[in-house]
Amino acid sequence: MSIASCLTDVPHPGEFLKEEIEARGWLQRDLAYILGVPEQAITMIIAGKRGISPEMAKALGDAFDVSADYFANLQQSYEMSNARAPDPGVARRAALQGSYPVREMIKRGWLEDTDVGMLEAQMMRFFKVNRLQDVPHLAHAAKKADYSETTPTQFAWLYRVKQLCSEMVCESYSENKLRSAISNMSRLMVDPEEIREVPRVLAECGVRFAVVETLPKANIDGVCFWLGDSPVVGMTTRHDRIDNFWFVLRHELEHVLNQDGKNDPQIDVDLEGDNAGDGADLSSEERAANIAAASFCVPNDDMESFYIRKYPFISEKDVLGFSRRVQRHPGIVVGQLQRRMKRYDYLTKYKVKIRHYLTPSSLVDGWGQCPPVSL
């Protein structure tokens, strides 16, 4: 028997109180005298016009020598049985919010704040499925095992990048053009303002590029996946530092060159510290991308030579001179040195912010911007 059926037609606790009084041969005024309350107070309860308060439950418990919980539970059962049924949308909204950051998605403009039926329809359109149970993670049994290690929040961010980039008009992808572009990008790595050229350079190679602000607790730095024969690179710039930007970008472009992400999106989380190294605990794809990114930020041979000669006494003057020689912004060099030395407080003043240079020339979602897309 369901809980709902058990709570149907529960009598008012006043009926039980009347039975208890009669069983003892008392009158209502006798109980009122014992409790030290007006007789009307007892009459109102027995008539079903007043409930039993917690204080009254305790007093009745003493008067009848039973647990106060007996009367408190009678009142609670009666109130529950007469409570209005909740809006059916409560459970449905809870199912959505329990899996995905729906409120944040509404705040960001990815979804409209509508009734639950329309909200469910929007979720299906957002994830490009025809049935609500096919939305990954929603039914606690993702249909696509490929995403088993991707959290719902990360998955929502990924699909926003897909939404935006699927509507971009882009050149056909050319691996040769991309390799040439990467070789020539060093000219953009001295002045932070030159970062604004990156979206144009990538578009000319046929790489779709978008900057989408991360969602809370997603910790995403970048992603590489493919829309047909067209590669997509998405970034969050959540750290907003020149060294992190160039490392993450080159990391994702290495995935593109190796055609990683063609079957499963290559979502990169926390590309800092050991996750940005070449340890054996990383996958071969991630190690290859990290090695390529580190050497791109500062050519490996040059860095090795400089580090061997100067470590552990690497002065600010040394860093600035070396940066000029390898034609890199000092913040990029500092980023690589910090990782090698595991000293993340070293010369942080050179790790300048870059997002304000990048976003005016990029397809951007977040920080108050929400480009329109067709759901």
Residue 249 lies inside a defined structural domain of this protein: yes
183 & 326 share domain: yes
Residue that the structure tokens 């979804």 belong to = 111
> By three-state DSSP, how is residue 225 classified?
strand
Report the pLDDT value the prediction gives residue 139, as an integer from 0 to 100: 52
Residue where a domain stops, chosen among 103, 127, 143: 143
268 & 315 share domain: yes
239 & 333 share domain: yes
Residue 153 lies inside a defined structural domain of this protein: no
125 & 175 share domain: no
Nearest to 289 by CA among 306, 301, 303, 277: 277
359 & 341 share domain: yes
Report the pLDDT value the prediction gives residue 148, as an integer from 0 to 100: 52
260 & 346 share domain: yes
78 & 94 share domain: no
Residue 156 lies inside a defined structural domain of this protein: no
Q: Are 78 and 13 in contact (CB under 8 A)?
A: yes
One-letter identity of residue 94:
A
Report the pLDDT value the prediction gives residue 8, as an integer from 0 to 100: 52
Nearest to 264 by CA among 345, 178, 149: 149
184 & 126 share domain: no
How far apart (Å, rounded) are the C-alpha atoms in residues 297 and 335? 9
How far apart (Å, rounded) are the C-alpha atoms in residues 152 and 291? 29
Residue 234 lies inside a defined structural domain of this protein: yes
Residue where a domain stops, chosen among 44, 65, 82: 82
Please give the full DSSP string across 260-273, using - where no structure is assigned: TTSSS-EEEE--SG
184 & 116 share domain: no
pLDDT in tens, 163-211: 999 999 889 999 999 999 999 999 999 999 999 999 999 999 999 999 9
Residue 118 lies inside a defined structural domain of this protein: yes
Supply the pTM of this predicted model: 0.81
Q: What average pLDDT does the chain have?
A: 91
Helix (H) or strand (E) holding 227: strand 220-227
182 & 94 share domain: no
Helix (H) or strand (E) holding 59: helix 54-64
Report the pLDDT value the prediction gives residue 141, as an integer from 0 to 100: 35
> By three-state DSSP, how is residue 232 classified?
strand
Report the pLDDT value the prediction gives residue 363, as an integer from 0 to 100: 96
Please tell me the total count of domains within the chain: 3
How far apart (Å, rounded) are the C-alpha atoms in residues 47 and 41? 10
pLDDT in tens, 68-114: 999 999 999 998 888 887 788 888 999 999 999 999 999 999 999 99
How far apart (Å, rounded) are the C-alpha atoms in residues 54 and 74? 11
67 & 105 share domain: no
73-81: Cβ within 8 A, 24+ apart: 74/13, 74/16, 75/13, 75/51, 77/7, 77/10, 78/10, 78/11, 78/12, 78/13, 78/51, 79/51, 80/7, 80/10, 81/7, 81/8, 81/9, 81/10
| Cα torsion through 258, 262, 265, 269, rounded to 10 | 0
CB within 8 Å of 299: residues ≥ 6 apart: 326
Domain range enclosing 334: 169-365
321 & 343 share domain: yes
Residue 374 lies inside a defined structural domain of this protein: no
How far apart (Å, rounded) are the C-alpha atoms in residues 241 and 220? 15
Cα 54-8-5 angle, rounded to 5 deg: 120
Residue where a domain stops, chosen among 82, 98, 127: 82
Pairing of the two strands 220-227 and 363-365: unpaired
Report the pLDDT value the prediction gives residue 107, as an integer from 0 to 100: 95
Residue 240 lies inside a defined structural domain of this protein: yes
Q: Which residues of the chain fall short of a pLDDT of 50? A: 1-7, 140-147
Q: Are 258 and 207 in contact (CB under 8 A)?
A: no
Residue 338 lies inside a defined structural domain of this protein: yes
CB within 8 Å of 280: residues ≥ 6 apart: none
Pairing of the two strands 230-235 and 208-212: parallel
